[in-house]
Amino acid sequence: MRFLTLVAWRNLWRHKRRSLITAGAMAVAVGVSMGMICFQEGMFDTLFDVMVEQQLGHVQVHHPDYPGQRTLHDTLDDADALVNRIEEQPGTASVSPRINGFALVGGEKKSAGAMLVGVDAARMAKTTRVLEQIEEGSFLSVEGAGEIVVGHKLLEELEIGVGESVVAVTQSADGSMGNALYEIVGTYKTGNAQLDRSGAFLHLGDVQDLLVLPDQVHQLTVLSSESDDIEGYAAGLSQTVSSDVVQVQTWQEASPQTAQLMAMRDFAAFFILGIVLLTAAFGIVNTMLMSVFERTRELGVLRALGIRRGRMMSLIVVESIFLAAVASALGLALGGAFSYYLVTYGYDMSASLEDGFSFSGVTLDPVIYGALSPRHVVNVVIAVFGVSILASLWPAWRAANLRPVEAIRSE
């Protein structure tokens, strides 16, 4: 093995320029791929944060008819007791009850349709990052009433500011007209286009009073500490609370569209890895074939001296492994620099997209920060070595099947 290693390393650098060009091309592919994976992982992390952890939760508990019809009367009764039971369930990180209703919200000059979301301020702060998303003012106080926090787009449409009051008018569950006056204590920007444009958070009790739905909620948003086994946690929770009027769903079941979108994450990563594979395969085949053709007489002499076909093939394969190692080292350095920049400073598109851009109903900030896990780095390196070995088999087979006499006579 030592003989093969020494000879393979020496042969690799016989033509330094060719070897370095091939390794450099592979390294650029590795580096660019790592940067692209880092960028798309950061984007999908943002989408997951906004669409799942902030809106859907890991698990949803609601009335069986509510997801399809979303009518006012499809509620969960005795909400406080149900929340306490879920909080006692092993694996529960946080629970946030919500009640939803639509209303006409108006200020002194303008009015607009709004989706009112009644929440428990303390529990919601544990379930989402809403406190970090307040642009002006503050979020709902833990012990308070008559407060409202509105989306920044809705605030602009109503042409009012924080500290002013709005009136909400809607039809209550008992058929009466509900109306109430609320003080705007803050405005938020979540990245969810619909919620930022027409959503408003109020105290749970205020919306229950407005809609005449005492101790009732439309859904419970649950985050689990067992994020790697959401299905298992949901199954256990379902055995605890599920009944004819209570349904437990994972976020994939609650929103199949979001699940399909998140499935594109792995597809995108594999597509990017395909770039590495094609580049590595082309470079290895070209370099190893040229090496075999140029060393035909030398390889013929080695065969004549008794080197078996298997060892001859191993010699070419080991050369490709060394080439892959050099390319990986250079590529990891280049990709590490790209990834560090994306993770630290992000990719700024504010010059052309000052307010960010929308993707599947989520408004992303114009500066997108990258995210790269060790798993993706390992996958890239394994891909380079794996394809390099496979691509070298054809040149290795040609070298192993040279006829010693004919090879020695060749020019």
Series of mean pLDDT values for 10-residue runs along the chain (411 residues): 71 76 83 86 81 81 86 89 90 91 90 92 85 88 90 91 92 90 92 84 94 92 85 87 83 83 77 73 72 65 69 78 88 90 82 60 73 84 83 75 62 52
What residues are paired with 100 via a beta bridge?
117
Q: Determine the pLDDT at residue 227.
A: 76
What is the C-alpha separation between 177 and 211, in angstroms, rounded? 9
Q: Determine the pLDDT at residue 351.
A: 64
What is the C-alpha separation between 28 and 332, in angstroms, rounded? 9
Closest CA to 384 of 334, 342, 341, 346: 334
What is the C-alpha separation between 19 and 150, in angstroms, rounded? 61
Closest CA to 74 of 66, 86, 82: 66
DSSP β-ladder status, 219-224 and 92-106: antiparallel
Q: Determine the pLDDT at residue 54.
A: 72
What residues are paired with 219 via a beta bridge?
62, 98
CA distances from residue 79 to 59, 99, 214, 251, 303 in whole angstroms, order as listed: 16, 10, 9, 21, 82
Is the distance from CB of 148 to CB of 164 less than 8 angstroms?
Answer: no
Q: Determine the pLDDT at residue 348.
A: 78
Sign of CA dihedral 79, 83, 86, 92: positive
Is the distance from CB of 60 to CB of 96 less than 8 angstroms?
Answer: no
What is the C-alpha separation between 31 and 330, in angstroms, rounded? 8
What is the C-alpha separation between 37 and 349, in angstroms, rounded? 18
Q: Determine the pLDDT at residue 225.
A: 85
How many Cα atoms sit within 13 Å of 313 on the Cβ side?
A: 12
Q: Determine the pLDDT at residue 17.
A: 81
CB atoms closer than 10 angstroms to residue 319 = 27
Closest CA to 151 of 169, 165, 163, 133: 133
DSSP β-ladder status, 367-368 and 147-151: unpaired
Decide: pTM greater than 0.75: no
Residues 117-147 as b/e (b if ≥16 CB within 10 A, e otherwise) read bbbbbebbbebbebeebbebbebbeeeeeeb
What is the C-alpha separation between 199 and 133, in angstroms, rounded? 14
Q: Determine the pLDDT at residue 150.
A: 94
CA distances from residue 246 to 62, 90, 160, 193, 300 in whole angstroms, order as listed: 6, 19, 40, 29, 77
Q: Determine the pLDDT at residue 318.
A: 83
CA distances from residue 38 to 101, 107, 118, 159, 362 in whole angstroms, order as listed: 39, 44, 37, 40, 19
